[in-house]
Chain A
Amino acid sequence: MKFSTSHFLSLAVAALIASVATSCTDPDAKSPTAAASSDKMRMEALRRAALANGAARAADLIIPTQPARVEVGRLIFESPKMSLNGAISCRDCHLDEFGSSDGLPNAVGVGGEGKGPERLDSDGRILPRNVLPFWGRGGRGFDTFFWDGRVRKGPDGIVSQFGVEAPSTDPLIVAAHLPSVELREMVEDTPRIRDAFVAEEVSDANNIQQTLAQRFASDEQIGPRLAQVYGKAKSAVAFSEVADALSQFIRHEFRMRPTTFERFVFEEGPITDAQLAGGILFYGRGRCASCHTGPYFTDFAFHSVAFPQAGFGKNGFGIDEGRYNATLDPRDRFLFRTPPLHNVMRTAPYSHSGSVSTLDQAIIAHFDPLRLVDTRSMTVRERSDLYVRLGTASRETLPSALTDREVGQLVAFLSMLEFEGAPQ
């Protein structure tokens, strides 16, 4: 075939259009040489930032457990006998399919039936906060529990509502003591219960828990194993053994596992362009690592983000004053513990009240919270509460204004924190 001038011109025009299109539609288009050297620099910067911010291998964070105790703990975790006058187990709200939480904005406690959204159709008691996932709980250095940090390990020992009578020096075991005595969570709120137990005394909690311990001890399946692994007669089993076994199970089942990010940081594993860009944002202009730092991507401190509030709130009428409920220090109003970020892709909805359903929205709430609310449809009271939350949030280290594309890159980066081989 003869190659005519028109053929040549057509080819040249096509090549020109293709190159212009490539150049103009991809904002990140770089020459191959520049891209290679720039990416290498960025990958190195990301690794250095991760290590400087305490990134650690999962294996270094695991506290060993005893398999026999873990197995008893598993049975206790899945047993409704943990509820004094209802039928709810720990497993009902901590499900593998919802990333070890329940997939709901506000938890549904005692009286709830089914899994996830099914629980909303049941007659369960709505709890004011979003269920926290269990990943990493009880790992090395994971010493602050619950949204408001009401159990934590301080320099002088355990700080909790037990005061000087904390049942253990292990904060996970202390935390495991609480749900079983929480009204509406695992205890049905009835007049009889109120008369008998609701004096907020440690002795009341002990009474409930001693009853629970005896229930487990007399359970055909759990009782003999519990007595055997702790070397006690069934009649001598106390709630401290129940809580210990439960903690051993949580510590083992939800232990830290390697992630793509760990492979990237410590083994020069692969990373996509979007993940790399997201990582640079996370440690750079996003300023995420100001709070989401350390091996669990949390500083275990208390901060404010002006999330919308969903549900009745811990303090009622759509208000949740967070850490203040635990300390009564006015400086702690509307502060919540920085949530860890491992497996965050699987733990929607987000925030202390589960008010945002996607990770993109959760990120946007940090720097552009008004985008997530329709202030005109709110009551004066709701807007007034929002102003207070905006006030506390504005004193935090705020990220730079990020574009939606950059938010997407941050989400891509966070996907690197998924555990390899976690329960599905």
Chain B
Amino acid sequence: MHSASWRGRLPGYIAAFVAGTLFAWIAAPLWRMGVIAWNQEHYGLLVEQCDTAMREHFQAKQSVQQINDPQAQSLLDAAEIGLIVCQDYDLTQKRLMQWGLREEELSQMRLKAIEARATDLKEVIETHEIQY
């Protein structure tokens, strides 16, 4: 009796397994797309801010070596604290990885952030180019 019942339910289990696998297979990319869409703006901003902070720190360090005055040192101090935004970037990136994003998706998000300016440039060209 018990064995017959088990056999009777088996197709249902198999169907559920297949449906579950299919769902997981379809849902995983959808999930990642959702996470990307939710976080693109904030992550993109951090990419830009960290990049700027690193560049400013590099330049401030060079300035101190070249013109060692209190103002240059003050700018280096500010630039060092400014690098804290890169910790925000790192923490956000790790959180996104915890939510299932892989390096491929993260690099895609970084690329989008960088290309955000390219879109602006296209708009500038469209506005100002001579139309024949």
- The chain A residues found within 8 Å of chain B, CB to CB, are 20, 23-24, 27-31, 34, 38, 41-42, 45, 49, 52, 280, 283-287, 289-290, 293, 397, 400-401, 403
Do residues B78 and A289 form an inter-chain contact, with CB atoms below 8 A?
Answer: yes
Contacts of A397 in B (CB 8 A): 71, 75
C-alpha spacing A45/B87, complex, angstroms: 13
CB-defined interface of B88-132 with A at 8 Å, one 1/0 digit per residue? 100110110011000000000000000000000000000000000
B: interface residue count bin: 20 to 34
C-alpha spacing A205/B88, complex, angstroms: 59
The residue of chain A having its C-beta at the shortest distance from the C-beta of B87 within the complex is: A38
Minimum CB–CB distance from B64 to chain A (whole Å) comes to 14
Do residues A290 and B75 form an inter-chain contact, with CB atoms below 8 A?
Answer: yes
Q: Could you name 13 residue pairs across A and B whose Cβ atoms are closer than 8 Å?
A: A23-B99, A27-B42, A283-B81, A284-B79, A284-B80, A284-B84, A285-B78, A286-B78, A287-B75, A289-B74, A290-B74, A400-B53, A400-B82
Contacts of B35 in A (CB 8 A): 24
Contacts of A27 in B (CB 8 A): 42, 92
Minimum CB–CB distance from A397 to chain B (whole Å) comes to 6
The 6 closest A-B pairs by CB, nearest first: A284-B81, A24-B38, A284-B82, A285-B82, A27-B42, A287-B78
Minimum CB–CB distance from B33 to chain A (whole Å) comes to 13
Known contacts A290-B71, A290-B78, A400-B49; decide if A31 and B95 are in contact (CB<8 Å). Answer: yes
Minimum CB–CB distance from B35 to chain A (whole Å) comes to 7
Contacts of B49 in A (CB 8 A): 285, 400
Minimum CB–CB distance from A310 to chain B (whole Å) comes to 30
C-alpha spacing A387/B17, complex, angstroms: 70
Minimum CB–CB distance from A51 to chain B (whole Å) comes to 12
Do residues B52 and A400 form an inter-chain contact, with CB atoms below 8 A?
Answer: yes
Do residues B91 and A280 form an inter-chain contact, with CB atoms below 8 A?
Answer: no
C-alpha spacing A52/B78, complex, angstroms: 11
Do residues A284 and B95 form an inter-chain contact, with CB atoms below 8 A?
Answer: no
C-alpha spacing A284/B91, complex, angstroms: 19
Do residues A23 and B95 form an inter-chain contact, with CB atoms below 8 A?
Answer: yes
Do residues A285 and B53 form an inter-chain contact, with CB atoms below 8 A?
Answer: yes
Contacts of A20 in B (CB 8 A): 34, 38, 99
